[in-house]
Amino acid sequence: MGPPQAPLKRSIFLANIHPTALVDPKATLADDAKIGPWCRIEGDVRIGSGTRLISNVHLEGPLRVGDNNTIYPNVCLGFAAQDRKYDPTTPGAGVTVGDDNILREGVTIHRATGDHPTALGSDNYLMVNSHLGHDVIVGDRCNLANGVLLGGHVIVQDDVTIGGGTAVHQNCRIGRRSMVAGVIAVIQDVLPFCVVFHTREIIGLNLIGLRRAGMRDEIRPLKQALEYAGSSGLSNKAAVERIRAELADHPTCLEMADFIESTKRGISPFNKSPRSAADSD
């Protein structure tokens, strides 16, 4: 057992820290970070420039929070994993949060059980009561609507949108620039650039997202890659080989092939007669 920890202290020594906030002496705060009423910062926590904790936020280290984040009331970051096998007193690798994120009321992000921290990238919008379980990795510019639940070890790549009330099973991956409908359970990997409907089926490409990203020229080859991956009857291995052989000039198609090849949970099933706008460029 290590030496006794210094008690939390009521922080009144900086103008940007509300008198009712409790800040651990081990914490490091940027001079212009703003800590609102009734916040509690415990352990090895670092908070970057311009980050604002509005009120009633509870942070537990090891935790790194970058610059210009806005954190709303009742957010809890860095608490122990919800895992019976994990000792809740073990600090572990903790949590990292990038820059320019908005975390709305009640967001929870639990610390890692492995060697790498649970990680949220930059410029993400996490809406009310969304949850990132232990060892989750979320990229940049993602939107998680109210009540999205990410189980342990889930990976969400960049530019993903997930609708409200959707739960993602442990160890699943959500590919880049995909869109997942609300109030469903995702139990297998979602391919990059695709849309998953309420039946948990991939119904086609995320055309709106691709167009907004200036990727219109990639739509036609991606449709061909998706055909090989989903409705051609090919095995995953055969689909990957065909994509790499015929669509090697398109990095997005090779990205899809790499994603398929590395799946551990399998790929979400395909709707054989997509009803989305996937049939038009």
Which residue out of 134, 139, 204, 230 is catalytically annotated? 134
Which residue out of 24, 135, 159, 189 is catalytically annotated? 135
Closest CA to 141 of 128, 151, 126, 154: 126
User: Tokens 């320019």 — which residue?
Assistant: 100
Which residue out of 61, 94, 152, 175 is catalytically annotated? 152
Look up 87 and say whether it is catalytic. no
∠ CA 256-270-251 to the nearest 5 degrees? 15
Look up 152 and say whether it is catalytic. yes
Amino acid letter at 64? R
Q: How far is CA 47 from CA 96, 119, 133, 150, 156, in A?
A: 10, 15, 21, 24, 24
Question: E strand or H helix at 71, and its extent?
Answer: strand 70-71
Q: How far is CA 215 from CA 123, 128, 174, in A?
A: 20, 31, 19
Look up 131 and say whether it is catalytic. no
Catalytic residue ranges: 134-135, 152
